[in-house]
Structure 1
């Protein structure tokens, strides 16, 4: 475990930051100083560590916040990286067909990312679930315009089952829905999965939908 010096003594951390939260470049930041808000032996102690980005185009200062973890009823002696400040939100760049055809999905997904960047992970999960629903329903309406009103009123799981024909989209969207529902319910069914898994499944769904629409586009243009 790497160590850093604080005004309360030397502590072990799980890892230094690997990216700058301002310019988002992967790097090995320069450690400057650190302070503890209480006795470093306490279970609720927080370490604020100051770093400098080494990138010549940035050179900004930022703070890495570390806290201990509770494991099996005890508290670790190692401090784990929790977040980096200040945050400079960097939105996901989606595939061309997704951006062009699903503006509602893009809007909701972007707002969910902003919430997550502010550590509002409970709200972000619900937002990603809503973004998924708009993506899948709008895609199915694109494929079945005569069924638009039916698709709008039907539960997402049934829409996936009855209107999504592509097997890859179906299996990814189904699993994304399972995790998305977990984000909205009191009791989680998928304890070993989190919001990052949900985002991966949404990304996979977007990828397959993009490929499907791109294929459709070329087939229509090159008769």
Structure 2
């Protein structure tokens, strides 16, 4: 999160410290010196809590933030909370992480883009994370040479390493619709982002099932 440093004297004339005002709207993700609509402060012990409701200059939606100055010879008040949050709870999956940590990272970037309503970026991110997962699956689980796998296009990797029709069909939906968002003029505008994400979730479930079957926690003795 980026901030604009402001004087706290706008809250109360005798305040000589500075506070952090969010410089990015949590709704639209655009930079903004948001318009202050409401503000107040509360004193506690030796500190002060500043709270403010602002309106984004880009999307005109409202958001709330609070800053705390502990009052112990401190000249600033860092932000301590914001609503809505600009971050989401990270996606975690131990089974898929065992196949590809890089996939988990890329998938979380796509989910964050979706949360910020950047659906085109999210769609491209899902497509990229799909490619990472499939290629790492081929290397880690199928024992394919990394050099060979890396050179494959996503289309060829799907056909070569997944083989099962249900996996191929599901992955192809994500590949084709994800690619579609990179085009100046989309070929399949009738299929929206929600459908792409649904097939992405189905594919992840399928890959996780295959991983769990191959790596049972217990076995016959």
TM-score interval (norm. to shorter):
0.5 to 0.7
Deviation at 1:108, TM superposition (A): 0.6
Given candidates 178, 182, 185, the residue that maps to 2:183 is: 185
The question of whether the paired residues in 1 share the 8 Å contact of 2:113 and 2:122 is answered with yes
Any stretches of 5+ residues in structure 1 without a counterpart?
Answer: 1-20, 22-36, 38-45, 51-61, 63-84
Does the alignment pair 1:154 with 2:152? yes
Equivalence for 1:96:
94
4+ aligned runs moved over 6 Å, structure 1:
none
Equivalence for 1:145:
143
Q: What secondary structure sits across from 1:175 in the alignment?
A: helix
Deviation at 1:200, TM superposition (A): 1.3
Q: Give the alignment's TM-score, normalised by structure 2.
A: 0.58
Q: What secondary structure sits across from 1:189 in the alignment?
A: coil
Deviation at 1:90, TM superposition (A): 2.4
Q: What secondary structure sits across from 1:145 in the alignment?
A: coil
Equivalence for 1:106:
104
Distance 1:49 1:221 in 2: 56
Equivalence for 1:217:
215
Distance 2:218 2:183 in 1: 42
Distance 2:198 2:170 in 1: 9
Deviation at 1:143, TM superposition (A): 3.3
Distance 1:166 1:222 in 2: 27
Deviation at 1:109, TM superposition (A): 1.0
Q: Give the alignment's TM-score, normalised by structure 1.
A: 0.57
RMSD: 3.5
The question of whether the paired residues in 1 share the 8 Å contact of 2:91 and 2:108 is answered with no
Deviation at 1:106, TM superposition (A): 0.7
Aligned residues: 155
Equivalence for 1:125:
123
Deviation at 1:86, TM superposition (A): 2.1
Structure number with larger C-alpha Rg: 2
Distance 2:174 2:184 in 1: 18
Any stretches of 5+ residues in structure 2 without a counterpart?
Answer: 1-25, 27-54, 64-81
The question of whether the paired residues in 2 share the 8 Å contact of 1:91 and 1:113 is answered with no
The question of whether the paired residues in 2 share the 8 Å contact of 1:151 and 1:159 is answered with yes
